Amino acid sequence: MPEQIQEIAVPPGVGEVMVEEHELQRRVAELGSELSRDYEGRELFMMGVLKGAVFFLADLMRHVHVPCELDFMAVSSYGSLTDSSGVVRILKDLDSSIEGRDVLIVEDIVDSGLTLNYLQRNLRGRNPRSLEVCALLVKPGRRKIDLPIRYVGFEIPNRYVVGYGLDLDQRYRNLPYVAAIDEHLQGRAA
Ligand code: IMP
Ligand code: MG
C-alpha cells in the first residue's frame, strides 16, 4: 500500500501545536526502553489515571519489555475546568492489591501537582515495593508542590493543552498531537 501523508486539520479553538505526533511517538518509545532497563528482572504494575493517560499508557506499554500488569484509577479533582484544587475523590479504585509490587503511576500531565500528590500519598499507604511516576507532560512553572517525577516526557510552558488524551471539557482527546488552546477559549473555559 502506498504510504499516505495525511494533513490533519487543526480544529477551531485549537491553537499552536506544542508536541508533534512523531515527537510523541519517539519519546514514548524512549521512555519504554528506559523503563525496560530500569525494571529488568522485575515485574511492573502500571497504573493509569483515567481518562487522559489511556492513550499515552497504551502506547508506552507496547515499548516495555518486562512483564507488566495494567490497572486504572479514576479520580475527580474539584476545581474549575482548567484548574484542579487538590481535593480529590476516587471514582474508580484499583482492581488488585499493590502490596509488595513495583508500581508506576502513569499520568498524562502534571500541572499544580496536587492530584499526583494525593495519589502518591494514597498509594504509598498500600505498601508497594516501589512507587514511581511517569508523566507525559509537566508544566514546571505551575507546580504548587515539589514532587519527584522519575520519568518525564516533555516539559511544556504554562499553556492549557489538549490532544493525545488530554481534554477540554471532554473534547479533543482524539487529536494525535498536543496543542495549546487558544487564549480566548481558555479564558472562557476557566
Ligand atoms: P494538577 O492536579 O493541577 O497537577 O492537575 C492534574 C490534572 O489536571 C491532570 O491529570 C489533567 O487531567 C488535568 N490538567 C492539568 N493541566 C491540563 C492541561 O493543560 N490540559 C488538559 N488537562 C490538564
Ligand atoms: Mg488526569
pLDDT digits (tens, 9 = 90+) for 39-72: 999 999 999 999 999 999 999 999 999 999 999 9
Q: Please tell me the predicted confidence (pLDDT) of residue 190.
A: 40
- Nearest-CA residue for atom 21 of ligand 1: 166
Closest Cα partner for 11 from 159, 137, 180, 186? 180
CB atoms within 5 A of ion ligand 2 belong to: 49, 52
φ/ψ region of 127 (left if φ > 0, alpha if ψ in -120 to 50, else beta) reads: left
Residue nearest to atom 11 of ligand 1 (CA): 109
128 CA distance to ligand 1 centroid (A)? Answer: 25
Ligand 1, pocket residues at CB < 6 Å:
52, 77, 84, 107-116, 160-162, 166
- At 164-174, the pLDDT tens digits run 999 998 999 99
Nearest to 118 by CA among 80, 159, 82, 73: 73
For atom 8 of ligand 1, the residue with the nearest CA is: 84
Q: Identify which has the larger pLDDT, 73 or 3.
A: 73
Q: Is it the case that residue 81 has pLDDT exceeding 80?
A: no
Note whether 178 and 139 are within 8 A (CB): no
Do the beta carbons of residue 164 and residue 175 sit within 8 Å?
yes
Which residues touch 163 (CB under 8 Å, ≥6 apart)?
Answer: 14, 172, 173, 174, 175, 176, 177, 178, 179
Average pLDDT over residues 75-103: 85
Residue 182 pLDDT class (50, 70, 90 cuts): confident
- What pTM was computed for the model? 0.89
Comparing 183 with 34, the larger pLDDT belongs to: 34
DSSP designation for 163: B
Cell 514532587 found at: 147
